[in-house]
């Protein structure tokens, strides 16, 4: 099944309702469909349609124009240098159409790329009246998405039409949104959450309101002025939104549901949100680029039970919830054997939305269709999934596997610790020793020994950081993922 | 007919179009308004609508036979009822999944 069929259905069923909005610019589903067909004419002959820009109408038009043209859509991080963008564009093939905003448009054009300015692309697409027959193809690549590359160089995940349409059809009900529902999207368009937000909400029939880039004040203002009912944010956004709400005490009266995910959410942040927004349905979503977004959810009922003091539910607040009914999960040991509930191993998943494929590389999927996420975790007796972190991040100290997440969670409980990163560094005696890099709150003065002693109160000696150093800031991706390989490299460079 | 996931079919007697979401392993006869559903490009001018079979499919709704492992998604509404091997397909209820996007 082709992505364009989803839009075609919405245009047939709810074609006159506003589907996407950026500032005061609005497109109905019917207009979006026509714009997509006209945009496909702009992309004629191109082997791919790349997008370098912030959230706006060029993103949905570009995505569906690529589908109409039968070529992959490739959203790229607009914060990358123009050299980096050039390197990611090269393998897409000569003649790739690059829809780009601002400086990137001129710079990439000067380097010989086929570039159209994003505003011009939107204007041209909206002015035309093209139509066409929805392609039957579900097999072709719909989107190439560069993974965040927290542990290695970025690589392009290949999401085929059938993966994305399976995800949408399997998880949301067509036209299921009630009247007046509107979602605020502030996750970037080059992130799988941005893609999933667009597809799911369009299919649901919710008005999608774009915030060009995330800013906590602008986000809160937009929720209030646009009467936003739903939103999805990453944990770093959640923390900043809480700070704004703390300061102005205005609340978010229209907001009914807020989902969060994309990285591990510190317990302190989650408790803060639950206290600030008691009426809002909270959902934690876990997924990967390679799985077409969400594969497990911890829903509003789980959050409410925790808020009411249920100890089991409270413990599960740090879980990713349960896998979707359309996805299968196994936790496997070092020999590939399935592990029973309670034991930690590598998380493998299978399902129609799971791609697991990277451009130009052999897919790591096994013969039975299972994909290794390279995340480590465990399931509890009721199937709640607890993520411990990336397999590549696991510290092996004296033969013992140690998840940085557990140690970081303890350090964050210290009132003077604002942020922290725990990584393994080479050690002759232990193989690896545990290093913690800590960012203190403004004005705080705590020594390394005091931080170690604080950690030792909750952790065994083997899990207590061997070294604690302090930093002004930590390197994060824009969606709140810690760049551990950068932390590790910095430590090695200074030691 | 042997179905495959992603296959597009259309009605011979009304506007209905469906996409196969789940396909059974065995051959099945799926119909709309009493006439077999057709593959892309096919038509059957002689087919007539049998309205006694029930209401036609609604846009965006899924129709299934869980015993067979068959599921269709209606991508264009129509007036002929969907059937498998002569039996009506059942409308699948909305799933109560929390919004994660």
Report pLDDT digits (tens) over A61-88. Answer: 999 999 999 999 999 999 888 888 998 9
Contacts of residue A302, Cβ cutoff 8 Å, sequence gap at least 6: A313, A316, A317, A321
Model confidence at A219: pLDDT above 80: yes
A27 vs A263, higher pLDDT: A27
How many C-beta neighbours within 10 Å does residue A216 have? 20
**Cα–Cα distance list, A308 to A278, A302, A313, B99 (Å):** 11, 10, 9, 22
Q: Check if B41 contacts A (Cβ < 8 Å).
A: no
Q: Check if B4 contacts A (Cβ < 8 Å).
A: no
CB contact under 8 A, A162 and B75: no
In terms of CA atoms, which chain B residue is nearest residue A325? Answer: B97
- DSSP summary character for residue A441: P
User: Residue A226's pLDDT is what?
Assistant: 97
* Confidence category of residue B5, pLDDT binned at 50, 70, 90: confident
Supply A429's token pair.
Answer: 């005696």
CB contact under 8 A, A232 and B8: no
User: Residue A151's pLDDT is what?
Assistant: 57
The whole-angstrom distance between B83's CA and the closest CA on chain A is 21
Residue A325: list chain B partners with CB under 8 A.
95, 97
Task: Report which secondary-structure segment, H or E, holds A268.
Answer: helix A267-276
In terms of CA atoms, which chain A residue is nearest residue B61? Answer: A174
CB contact under 8 A, A169 and B73: yes
User: Residue A97's pLDDT is what?
Assistant: 98
Burial (Cβ within 10 Å: 0-12, 13-18, ≥19) of residue A256: middle
Nearest Cβ partner of A300 from B8, B73, B98?
Answer: B98
Please tell me whether residue A114 adopts helix, strand or coil conformation: strand
Determine contact, residues A99/A56, Cβ cutoff 8 Å: no
* Confidence category of residue A208, pLDDT binned at 50, 70, 90: very high
Determine contact, residues A69/A92, Cβ cutoff 8 Å: no
The string of pLDDT tens digits covering residues A280-295 is: 999 999 999 999 999 9
Q: Check if B94 contacts A (Cβ < 8 Å).
A: yes
Distance, CA of A285 to CA of A295 (rounded, Å):
8
* Confidence category of residue A263, pLDDT binned at 50, 70, 90: confident
In chain B, the N- to C-terminal Cα span, in Å, equals 37
User: Residue A38's pLDDT is what?
Assistant: 98
Please tell me whether residue A469 adopts helix, strand or coil conformation: strand
Please tell me whether residue A346 adopts helix, strand or coil conformation: strand
The whole-angstrom distance between B13's CA and the closest CA on chain A is 20
The whole-angstrom distance between B46's CA and the closest CA on chain A is 25
The whole-angstrom distance between A346's CA and the closest CA on chain B is 24
Residue B99: list chain A partners with CB under 8 A.
172, 200, 204, 230, 257, 259, 283
User: Residue A476's pLDDT is what?
Assistant: 87
The string of pLDDT tens digits covering residues A135-154 is: 988 999 999 998 765 555 66
Q: Pick from A431, A298, A287: which is nearest to A353 by CA?
A: A287
Measured in residues, chain B has a length of: 101
Model confidence at B65: pLDDT above 90: yes
Supply the mean pLDDT for chain A: 93
The string of pLDDT tens digits covering residues B8-60 is: 899 999 999 999 999 998 999 999 999 999 998 899 999 999 999 999 999 99
* Confidence category of residue A479, pLDDT binned at 50, 70, 90: confident
The whole-angstrom distance between B86's CA and the closest CA on chain A is 26
The whole-angstrom distance between A148's CA and the closest CA on chain B is 19
Please tell me whether residue B62 adopts helix, strand or coil conformation: strand
In terms of CA atoms, which chain B residue is nearest residue A200? Answer: B101
Distance, CA of A213 to CA of A226 (rounded, Å):
16
Nearest Cβ partner of B99 from A169, A257, A293?
Answer: A257
Nearest Cβ partner of B60 from A174, A287, A299?
Answer: A174
- DSSP summary character for residue A482: B
The string of pLDDT tens digits covering residues A343-384 is: 999 999 999 999 999 998 888 899 999 999 999 999 999 999
Supply A443's token pair.
Answer: 């004005």
Q: Check if B6 contacts A (Cβ < 8 Å).
A: yes
Nearest Cβ partner of A136 from B8, B60, B94?
Answer: B8
């Amino acid at each position: 099944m082709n992505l364009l069929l989803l839009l075609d259905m919405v245009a047939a069923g709810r074609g006159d309702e506003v589907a996407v909005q950026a500032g005061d610019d609005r497109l109905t589903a019917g207009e979006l469909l026509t714009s997509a067909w006209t945009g496909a004419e702009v992309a004629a002959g191109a082997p791919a349609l790349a997008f370098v820009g912030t959230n706006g109408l060029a993103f949905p038009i570009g995505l569906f124009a690529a589908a109409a043209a039968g070529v992959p859509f490739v959203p790229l991080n607009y914060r990358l240098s123009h050299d980096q963008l050039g390197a990611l564009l090269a393998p897409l093939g000569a003649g790739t159409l690059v829809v780009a905003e601002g400086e990137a448009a001129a710079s990439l054009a000067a380097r010989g790329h086929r570039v159209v300015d994003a505003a011009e692309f939107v204007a041209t697409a909206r002015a035309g009246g093209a139509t066409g027959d929805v392609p039957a193809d579900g097999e072709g690549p719909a989107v190439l998405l560069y993974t965040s590359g927290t542990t290695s160089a970025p690589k392009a995940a290949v999401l085929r039409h059938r993966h994305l349409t399976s995800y949408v059809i399997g998880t949301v009900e067509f036209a299921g949104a009630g009247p007046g529902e509107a979602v605020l999207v502030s996750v970037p368009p080059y992130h799988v959450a941005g893609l999933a937000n667009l597809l799911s909400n369009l299919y649901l029939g919710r008005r999608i309101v774009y915030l060009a880039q995330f800013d906590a004040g602008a986000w809160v203002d937009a929720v209030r002025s646009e009467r936003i009912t739903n939103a999805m944010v990453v944990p770093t956004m959640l923390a900043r939104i809480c700070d704004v709400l703390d300061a102005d005490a205005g609340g978010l009266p229209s907001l009914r549901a807020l989902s969060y995910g994309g990285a591990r959410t510190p317990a302190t942040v989650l408790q803060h949100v639950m206290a600030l927004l008691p009426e809002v349905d909270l959902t934690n979503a876990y997924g990967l680029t390679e799985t077409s977004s969400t594969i497990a959810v911890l829903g509003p009922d789980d959050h409410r039970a925790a808020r009411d003091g249920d100890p089991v539910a409270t413990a599960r607040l740090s879980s990713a919830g349960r896998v979707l009914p359309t996805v299968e999960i196994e936790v496997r040991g070092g020999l590939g054997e399935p592990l029973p509930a309670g034991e930690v191993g590598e998380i493998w998943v299978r399902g129609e939305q799971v791609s697991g494929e990277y451009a130009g590389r052999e897919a790591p999927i096994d013969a039975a269709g299972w994909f290794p996420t390279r995340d480590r975790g465990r399931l509890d007796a009721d199937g709640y999934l607890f993520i411990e972190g990336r397999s590549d991040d696991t510290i092996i100290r004296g033969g013992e596997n140690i998840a940085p997440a557990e140690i970081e969670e303890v350090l964050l409980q210290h009132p003077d610790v604002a942020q922290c990163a725990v990584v393994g560094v080479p050690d002759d005696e232990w193989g690896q020793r545990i290093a913690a890099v800590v960012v203190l709150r403004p004005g705080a003065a705590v020594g390394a020994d005091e931080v170690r002693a604080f950690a030792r109160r909750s952790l065994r000696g083997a899990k207590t950081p061997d070294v604690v150093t302090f930093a002004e800031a930590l390197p994060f991706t824009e969606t709140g993922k810690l760049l551990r390989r950068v932390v590790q490299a910095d430590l090695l460079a200074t030691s | 007919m042997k179905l495959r996931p992603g296959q597009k079919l259309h009605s011979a007697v009304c506007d209905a179009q469906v996409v196969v979401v789940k396909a059974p392993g065995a051959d099945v006869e799926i119909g709309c308004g009493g006439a077999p559903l057709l593959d892309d490009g096919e038509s059957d001018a002689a087919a007539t609508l049998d309205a006694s079979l029930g209401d036609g499919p609604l846009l965006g709704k899924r129709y299934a036979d869980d015993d067979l492992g068959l599921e269709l998604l209606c991508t264009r509404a129509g007036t002929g009822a969907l059937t498998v091997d002569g039996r009506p397909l059942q409308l699948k209820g909305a799933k109560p999944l929390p919004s994660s996007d």
